[in-house]
Structures are given as structure tokens and as C-alpha cells.
């Protein structure tokens, strides 16, 4: 979000101008300090409230952001901005009722405020008020002022319509009529200086509707229209905003195609993740360390690997690198000499697991132990699938891929064992706060499984899980073993040994699954209805195609875990029978 200023430049205080310049330059910490200093003044400018809250919200400091915005509301009661931004902070924290109240207050001040109306519709839909959500956004669509507003409203409008019961929206007839009208409006209102804009919007709309072929056709049309436009405008270059939209569209298409099991198309577009910004500390969706420039070591583009020295570069996510690394033996079968630069947290694991692959550390590169001339080609490890792994039967290693520290595994089994099967447990994912909630399940929801006394449950959870488990035990009487000596954030190798000590693992979709799956340990994964691209939609393919030892059970579309927990209960019973036999 761009930082706010005042409409009249003559009214902008010099110190606010300096703060905004820092903000625009990406120096958010320095900008925040300037904004906070401005807020100490007797009459702080509105922009200082909005911009400081925006920075704090991006850093997930939502309580502090809300406090600032509430003060802004008292000083600027007739401006809808603070109310709208306050609603965004509540929404990030899943405080939906408070968010609805905030957006409604913003719209009372300015009924035409599109951001607030779209967000209000989304909140109402999440709260189950699908008819009201549809009415709110339909009104915005009917009274849109221009094509830009029509384009922005189209996707939320389709989402709201899809949330209605089929009998209410007239099955497919109403939806078809609406989407045809939206398509006609967008195509007829495409600006002359940006002919591809409508194609972007339509591609996203068809993607939301699950009509991937139409979405791809719109993307192809964007290419064609853009090429024609540039041909007529000699010397014109693509704007940065266009490039960002192009990569974002292609990345979203990749994710949706992979979730539908269309691997060949999905992996080809997966490359765009290298140029799509991420919202957290990581700059890009697929950011990675490139130790050598392409001019020094060319990127692999799918050519023969026989007698080639190929450097594989780890992905930004630990789990991603672990997952893609399972494909290394297939590349070796082609006659390639593989080198792996996985990131320092995985060094010991892969030095033990891949004894025939040189494992490179940051220290090795810094000390000059490896030079560009040691390699013929390099490639991000997540980019290899588009060239060799386009079918489901290309996956799942024939035998366990990882090797844990055998002596530490034995030591931990002796430490934990009381004769019952050891079941590792992980219930929470990583990432930003709102994403964590989408991927995770509460300990109280797991209580019916965890109270089964035939098993000894051991926490494999990342982070400071000890206090959570203490509170859980006090409220339920259920004990889940927590080992203070294991810290996955500091010692991934020790964590893998802990995973290796288990007889089975029960986990949500996080890095734990890559550890247990890589070791070949029986695993049941509880997959949320907001799962990422690693999981194909269950109506198309059920299970995990990366690891043969991993089974999957799914949260329903309406967010209910009951059926999945029942399946997990049956899985536990099956594991018990294997243990006793």
C-alpha cells in the first residue's frame, strides 16, 4: 500500500514529507519512527496515523496499529480512512464482527468507499451471511462510477454469488448470466492505453470460478494484445505495474493448476513465483540465494544432463527444499553430477542423507571452496519439475530418502518410550498470523484423539509449545510430552532425530510432514480447506504424491474437522494394530 499524504501539497508539514519519502523508499523502520514523532504533536496529520498503522499492520503489530487508528477516529471523526484501516486490522486478527462494525462506520461517512464495501462483503461472507454479502457487493457493482471500479468489484461479486446456496442463485443460470455480463462490461470498457487490463481481471474471475481453461485463454489473450499494442507503439516499454500484475496472475494460475493436478502447466508457470512479492520478511514468494551470476553459471533449461555438473539452489522455505530434494536421484540417473546448496539449517541432514552429493554451505562459498568453474549449470531446485516431473507417477522415492542420526534416534526413543507407540504431534503451521490460522487446528479439537491412552503423544511442534501444552494439560488432563532439549529453529538435525524416534506422526500440513515423509514414517496429515499448492484438491486426488508413507484426511469446505478427525482416529487404531503385531 502506498503511503498517504495530504491532497494540498501546501498543507503537508516538512517532517511528514520526509517520513513519506522514507516510506516510499522502503525504509519503513525509519519512516515509522518519524510518523510516531509526528503523532506526539498537538494536531498530528491524518497521514501520520494511517501510514504508521499501515507499517505496524504489515509487521503484524495489530494491537498497536488499532490503538493508533482509534485515536485517529477521535481526531478525524468525519474521515472514513481510519475506520476502514481499523477494519483491516480486525480482519487480519480474524475479529470479524469488529471488522464489520468498522467497515460499516466507514461507509456511513462515505457510502462510495469501495475498499470498505468490498471488505465488508468479504467479512459477511466469512460470518455466514452470504445473502447480505451478495447484496452489499451487488449494490457497489450496479453503481460503479467507471470501468476501473467495475473491474475491481467483479471478482468479489462472483465470490459472493458462489457463496450463496445453489437453490438461491438459481443453480448455474444466474451465475452464467452474471459472468457473461461482467465479461461484456470489462471488454467494452478496457482503456485504450491499457488493452490488457480487462484480460487480467477476467483471468482472475475464471480462476475463482475454477474454469482454468478460460483463465489460461485470457492470459494468452493478454500476451497477444500486449504484443500488438507494443508493435504499434514503437519504443514503448512495459510498465512496472504491468510486469507485477503479469507475474502475480501467472503465479496464481500456477497454484490453481497444481491444486487441480495439472502439473505440466502448473510447474511451467511456477517460475513466476521468483518475481512475485511476498508479504512477510521474505521479499519474494520463491526468493533464494544465487551464489553465481547467470553469466558465470548458466541456468539449466531442461537440456540433457549427461556428464553435466548441476548446482541445485535451495528454495526459501525449508519444507520446499526438502520436498524438491526427493527428486535428486532421478537427475542423477541421467548421468548428472549434482551439487546441493540447501541453506545452512539443512546441512547436516543432507550430508548424512546424500553421501554421493556435495553439500555446499554459505561458509564454503565465502571461503572460496567452490568457484563458478566447478559447475556447468545451476537451477533453483523448485524449477526442475517443469522439465522432468510432469506426471504424478514421477514422484515418491522408492525408499526413505532421509537419514536421521541413528544414535540420537535411539537415545530419544529410550527417553520417551513407556511401551506404548510413540506418536509425534504437530498442530500449527508457520507464516503470517492469518495464514497460520488457516493451516492449523486447535489442541482442544484434537482432544478426542489425544485422550487415547494407548498412545504416548510427543510434541514435534515448532516454536515455544511448552506453555501451550501446560495450559492444555491443566484444562483437559491430557499430557502431551514436550522435550525442552529439542529446538527445531536452532537444530533441524536434532528435530529430525526426534521425528525419526516416532512410530507414527499426526500433523497438519507443515514441515513436519516433509521430515516424517522423507524418513518413511507412517504419517497422517490433517489438510485444511485452505491448503497450498502442495496438495491436490481431494475431489481430484486424495493423498500426498510426494511421500508414500503420508496419508491425508481433509477439512470440509465449510471448515468442519469432524470427518477428518474421525479418519485420523481410524488411522491411529490401524497404527496400534501394527505395533502390537
Between 546 and 11, the more confident residue is: 546
Is the pLDDT at 189 greater than 80? The verdict is no
12 C-beta neighbours (distance < 10 Å), count:
15
Q: Encode pLDDT of 394-408 as tens digits.
A: 998 878 889 999 999
pLDDT of residue 238: 65
Is the pLDDT at 276 greater than 80? The verdict is yes
- Residue 227 in grid coordinates: 504484443
pLDDT of residue 182: 75
CA nearest 441: which of 428, 450, 430, 453?
A: 428
Q: Which residue has the cell 491499457?
A: 194
- Residue 282 in grid coordinates: 521474505
Q: What is the mean pLDDT of the chain?
A: 87
Is the pLDDT at 328 greater than 80? The verdict is yes
How deeply is 219 buried, as exposed, middle or buried, from its count of CB atoms within 10 A (0-12, 13-18, 19+)? buried
Q: How many residues does the chain have?
A: 581
Q: What is the pTM assigned to this prediction?
A: 0.78
CA end-to-end distance (rounded Å), the chain: 60
pLDDT of residue 6: 45
pLDDT of residue 432: 59
Q: Encode pLDDT of 57-89 as tens digits.
A: 988 899 999 999 999 999 999 999 999 999 999
3-class secondary structure per residue, 398-422: CCCCCCCCHHHHHHHHHHHCCCCCE
Between 144 and 168, the more confident residue is: 144
How deeply is 349 buried, as exposed, middle or buried, from its count of CB atoms within 10 A (0-12, 13-18, 19+)? buried
Model confidence at 190, pLDDT cuts 50, 70, 90, reads low
pLDDT of residue 109: 95
Q: How far is CA 340 from CA 357, 378, 398, 512, in A?
A: 7, 10, 21, 21
Mean pLDDT of 376-384: 96
In whole angstroms, give the CA distance from residue 389 to residue 267.
9
Segments in 233-374 forming alpha helices (H): 240-259, 263-270, 318-325, 328-332, 347-353, 362-366
User: Contact at 8 Å (CB) between 126 and 90?
Assistant: no
In whole angstroms, give the CA distance from residue 315 to residue 61.
27
In whole angstroms, give the CA distance from residue 517 to residue 396.
10
In whole angstroms, give the CA distance from residue 287 to residue 410.
37
Mean pLDDT of 279-305: 84
269-297 b/e (C-beta count within 10 Å ≥ 16 → b): bbbbbbbbeeeeeeeebbbbeebbeeeeb
| Lowest-pLDDT range of 129-143, 322-336, 445-459, 519-533 | 129-143
Is the pLDDT at 9 greater than 50? The verdict is no
pLDDT of residue 192: 60
Query: What percent of the chain has pLDDT above 70?
Result: 91
DSSP state of 147: H
Which residues does 318 contact at the CB level (< 8 Å), separation at least 6? 343, 345, 346, 492, 511, 514
In whole angstroms, give the CA distance from residue 302 to residue 35.
50
pLDDT of residue 8: 45
In whole angstroms, give the CA distance from residue 179 to residue 289.
43
| Lowest-pLDDT range of 1-5, 222-226, 227-231 | 1-5
Strands 523-527 and 504-508: parallel
DSSP state of 481: B
Q: Which residue has the cell 465449510?
A: 558
Q: How far is CA 440 from CA 5, 26, 447, 469, 542, in A?
A: 39, 32, 14, 15, 19
Angle between helices 197-208 and 240-259 (to 10 degrees): 20
Longest distance between any two alpha carbons in the chain, whole Å: 82
Mean pLDDT of 411-422: 95
pLDDT of residue 191: 61
In whole angstroms, give the CA distance from residue 62 to residue 52.
11
399 C-beta neighbours (distance < 10 Å), count:
7
Is the pLDDT at 13 greater than 80? The verdict is no
Which residues does 391 contact at the CB level (< 8 Å), separation at least 6? 263, 264
What 3-state DSSP class applies to 1? coil
pLDDT of residue 262: 96
DSSP 515-527: HHHHHT--EEEEE
Is the pLDDT at 7 greater than 50? The verdict is no
Mean pLDDT of 228-250: 77
Mean pLDDT of 427-454: 81
Query: What percent of the chain has pLDDT above 90?
Result: 58
Q: Which residue has the cell 496400534?
A: 576
In whole angstroms, give the CA distance from residue 68 to residue 56.
10
In whole angstroms, give the CA distance from residue 51 to residue 55.
6
- Residue 400 in grid coordinates: 526413505
Between 254 and 468, the more confident residue is: 254
Chain-centre distance of CA 3, in angstroms?
25
Between 352 and 179, the more confident residue is: 352
Mean pLDDT of 485-492: 90
What residues form DSSP beta bridges with 151? none
DSSP state of 315: P
- Residue 81 in grid coordinates: 480512512
Q: Encode pLDDT of 30-42 as tens digits.
A: 989 989 999 998 8
Is the pLDDT at 391 greater than 90? The verdict is yes
Which residues does 43 contact at the CB level (< 8 Å), separation at least 6? 75
Is the pLDDT at 253 greater than 80? The verdict is yes
Is the pLDDT at 502 greater than 70? The verdict is yes
What residues form DSSP beta bridges with 340? 312, 359
Amino acid at each position: 500500500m502506498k503511503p498517504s499524504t495530504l491532497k494540498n501539497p501546501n498543507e503537508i508539514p516538512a517532517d511528514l514529507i520526509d517520513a513519506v519519502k522514507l516510506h516510499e523508499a522502503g525504509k519503513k523502520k525509519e519512516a515509522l519512527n518519524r510518523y510516531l514523532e509526528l503523532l506526539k504533536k498537538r494536531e498530528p496529520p491524518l497521514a501520520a496515523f494511517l501510514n504508521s498503522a499501515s507499517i505496524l499492520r504489515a509487521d503484524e503489530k495489530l494491537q498497536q496499529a488499532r490503538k493508533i487508528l482509534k485515536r485517529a477516529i477521535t481526531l478525524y471523526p468525519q474521515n472514513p480512512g481510519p475506520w476502514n484501516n481499523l477494519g483491516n486490522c480486525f480482519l487480519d486478527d480474524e475479529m470479524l464482527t469488529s471488522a464489520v462494525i468498522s467497515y460499516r462506520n466507514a461507509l456511513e461517512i462515505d457510502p462510495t468507499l469501495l475498499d470498505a464495501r468490498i471488505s465488508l462483503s468479504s467479512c459477511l461472507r466469512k460470518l455466514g451471511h452470504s445473502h447480505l454479502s451478495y447484496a452489499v457487493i451487488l449494490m457497489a457493482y450496479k453503481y460503479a462510477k467507471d470501468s476501473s471500479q467495475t473491474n475491481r468489484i467483479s471478482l468479489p461479486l462472483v465470490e459472493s454469488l458462489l457463496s450463496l446456496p445453489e437453490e438461491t442463485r438459481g443453480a448455474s443460470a444466474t451465475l452464467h448470466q452474471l459472468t457473461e455480463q461482467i465479461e461484456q462490461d470489462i471488454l467494452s470498457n478496457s482503456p485504450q492505453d491499457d488493452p490488457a487490463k480487462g484480460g487480467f481481471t477476467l483471468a482472475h474471475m475464471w480462476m475463482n470460478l475454477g474454469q482454468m481453461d478460460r483463465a489460461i485463454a485470457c492470459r494468452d489473450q493478454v500476451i497477444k494484445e500486449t504484443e500488438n499494442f507494443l508493435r504499434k507503439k514503437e519504443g514503448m516499454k512495459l510498465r512496472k505495474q504491468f510486469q507485477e500484475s503479469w507475474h502475480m496472475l501467472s503465479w496464481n494460475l500456477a497454484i490453481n493448476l497444481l491444486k487441480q493436478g495439472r502439473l505440466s502447466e502448473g510447474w511451467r508457470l511456477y517460475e513466476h513465483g521468483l518475481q512475485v512479492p511476498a508479504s512477510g520478511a521474505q521479499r519474494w514468494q520463491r526468493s533464494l540465494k544465487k551464489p553465481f551470476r547467470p553469466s558465470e553459471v548458466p541456468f539449466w533449461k531442461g537440456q540433457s544432463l549427461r556428464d553435466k555438473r548441476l548446482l541445485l539452489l535451495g528454495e526459501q522455505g525449508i519444507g520446499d527444499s526438502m520436498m524438491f530434494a526427493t527428486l535428486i536421484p532421478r537427475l542423477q540417473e541421467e548421468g548428472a553430477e549434482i551439487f546441493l546448496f540447501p541453506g545452512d539449517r539443512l546441512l547436516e541432514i543432507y550430508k548424512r542423507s546424500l553421501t554421493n552429493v556435495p553439500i555446499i554451505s554459505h561458509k564454503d562459498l565465502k571461503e572460496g571452496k567452490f568457484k563458478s568453474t566447478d559447475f556447468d549449470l545451476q537451477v533453483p531446485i523448485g524449477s526442475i519439475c517443469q522439465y522432468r516431473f510432469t506426471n504424478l507417477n514421477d514422484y515418491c522415492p522408492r525408499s526413505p530418502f532421509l537419514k536421521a542420526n541413528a544414535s540420537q534416534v535411539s537415545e530419544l526413543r529410550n527417553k520417551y518410550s513407556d511401551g506404548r507407540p510413540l506418536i509425534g504431534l504437530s498442530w500449527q503451521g508457520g507464516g503470517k498470523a492469518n495464514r497460520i490460522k488457516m493451516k492449523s487446528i486447535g489442541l482442544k479439537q484434537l482432544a478426542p484423539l489425544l485422550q487415547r491412552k494407548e498412545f504416548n503423544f510427543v510434541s514435534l511442534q515448532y516454536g515455544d509449545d511448552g506453555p501451550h501444552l501446560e495450559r492444555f494439560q491443566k484444562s483437559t488432563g491430557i499430557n502431551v510430552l514436550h522435550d525442552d532439549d529439542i529446538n527445531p529453529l536452532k537444530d533441524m538435525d536434532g528435530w529430525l532425530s526426534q521425528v525419526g524416534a516416532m512410530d507414527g506422526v499426526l500433523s497438519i500440513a507443515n514441515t513436519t510432514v516433509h521430515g516424517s515423509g522423507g524418513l518413511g514414517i507412517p504419517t497422517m496429515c490433517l489438510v485444511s480447506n485452505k491448503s497450498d499448492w502442495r496438495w491436490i484438491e481431494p475431489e481430484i486426488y486424495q493423498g500426498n504424491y510426494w511421500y508414500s508413507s503420508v496419508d491425508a484426511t481433509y477439512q470440509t469446505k465449510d471448515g468442519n474437522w469432524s470427518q477428518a478427525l474421525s479418519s485420523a482416529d481410524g488411522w491411529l487404531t490401524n497404527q496400534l494394530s501394527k505395533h502390537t503385531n
